[in-house]
Structure formats: structure tokens, C-alpha cells
């Protein structure tokens, strides 16, 4: 009888880029960020949604968050991400069509794409306090601004004020042999993040 091979969680085979996430997810600490919610063009939203997803609101809404994280097992990183409020099978979600990371080594980019389907790319991201305002921005490449968030903070937001729903991502892995259809095309639901 041949023994079943023992596989690492990911590649490289002898030195995986990241380990299996702990049960319950990675513990995050010291999060801070700038968040805005706004209305977006309905035709533009429909053009970037996967099949079977629809805008949650009659006038579609999105948010953008530019933030700084510290995560055990992943190290510190910055991100800028957009979410669209959508519905799927009668439930409400936040669908992420764009997300950018700034982290030396880029482990968060790999794990978020491979495991959870976040459509991550690398960018230069800053989150700074200037006078009485918080300024967050993302550049790709550096010097070419793709997103800017400026807020005048008065108090820390409560989670229920942010209208968070579970993230829903579209994980897509193309065929290695050039077939037109991908090897993996699936919607991935993540448990809601709890920020403390």
C-alpha cells in the first residue's frame, strides 16, 4: 500500500510562503484607518459585478477604506480597498472589486488572493495625520494617485455605524493549459471582521 503524500499548506514545497491560518483567523492588533461611504453609478457597478450579484441599494453604494494593520502571523501592512454593497441569494454582502496592499515581502497579497479571492495588487499607501485631518492615499505606481480619502475625525466609529456585511469575493484561477474556462471560479464568503 502506497502512503499518501504529505503536502505543505502552500508552496514552495520545502518552505511554504505562509502557514495555515489559525482557527478563527489571524489576530489583528492596532488597526486604524479612514473610511468613507458614497453613492456610485449603477451602470458602472453592474459592469464589474460577477454573475448573480446585484447592487443592494436602489442607488448603489460603495465604501473605500485606507488603513494600517498589525497582524500576528502576517506582520504589519497597509491597504486601500473598495467594497460595493451587494445582494446574493437574499443576503447582504460587501463585494471587493479592488484592493491594494503595501507590505515588504507581500505575504498578505499572496494569502489574500489564494485563500480568500481578494483581487489584490501592490501599491504605495500612506495614512497620515496632517493638522486636524487624516489623509489616506494609494498610488500605483508611486506618484500616480488612484485613491484619496480625507476625513476630519471627531470620534472613533462604532462597528454598527460602518454598515459592514460579510465580505464576498470572486476567486478566479486561470487554466494552466490555456483553456478558455478557468480552473477555479467561485464566490468566497468570509466571516465578518470584528474591529476592537
> What tens digit of pLDDT does each residue of 24-79 get?
777 777 788 898 999 999 999 999 999 899 999 999 999 999 999 988 778 899 99
Smallest CA-to-CA distance from 100 within 129, 135, 139 is with 139
Sequence-distant (≥ 6) Cβ neighbours of residue 130 within 8 angstroms: none
172 neighbors 114 (Cβ within 8 angstroms): no
Model pLDDT, residue 161: 76
| 133 located within any domain | yes
| 21 located within any domain | no
101 neighbors 108 (Cβ within 8 angstroms): yes
192 pLDDT tier (thresholds 50, 70, 90): low
| 59 located within any domain | yes
| 116 located within any domain | yes
pTM: 0.89
Model pLDDT, residue 29: 78
Domain count, the chain: 1
Peptide bond preceding 141 in cis form (omega within 30 of 0): yes
Model pLDDT, residue 146: 96
d(CA 39, CA 55): 11
CATH at 44: 2.40.400.10
Give the tens place of pLDDT for each residue, 110-163.
999 999 999 999 999 999 998 899 999 999 999 999 999 999 988 877 777 777
Range of the domain at 72: 28-189
Amino acid at each position: 500500500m502506497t502512503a499518501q503524500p504529505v503536502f505543505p499548506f502552500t508552496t514552495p514545497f520545502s518552505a511554504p510562503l505562509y502557514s495555515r491560518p489559525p482557527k478563527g483567523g489571524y489576530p489583528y492588533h492596532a488597526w486604524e484607518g479612514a473610511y468613507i461611504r458614497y453613492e456610485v453609478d449603477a451602470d458602472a457597478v453592474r459592469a464589474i459585478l460577477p454573475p448573480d450579484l446585484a447592487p443592494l441599494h436602489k442607488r448603489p453604494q460603495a465604501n473605500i477604506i485606507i488603513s494600517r494593520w498589525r497582524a500576528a502571523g502576517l506582520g504589519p501592512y497597509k491597504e486601500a480597498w473598495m467594497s460595493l454593497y451587494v445582494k446574493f441569494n437574499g443576503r447582504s454582502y460587501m463585494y471587493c472589486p479592488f484592493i491594494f496592499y503595501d507590505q515588504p515581502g507581500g505575504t498578505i497579497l499572496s494569502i489574500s488572493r489564494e485563500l480568500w479571492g481578494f483581487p489584490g495588487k501592490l501599491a504605495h499607501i500612506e495614512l497620515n495625520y496632517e493638522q486636524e485631518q487624516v489623509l489616506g492615499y494609494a498610488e500605483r505606481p508611486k506618484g500616480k494617485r488612484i485613491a484619496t480619502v480625507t476625513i476630519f475625525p471627531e470620534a472613533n466609529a462604532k462597528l454598527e455605524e460602518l454598515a459592514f456585511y460579510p465580505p464576498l469575493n470572486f476567486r478566479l484561477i486561470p487554466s494552466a493549459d490555456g483553456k478558455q474556462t478557468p480552473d477555479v471560479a467561485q464566490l468566497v464568503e468570509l466571516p465578518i471582521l470584528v474591529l476592537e
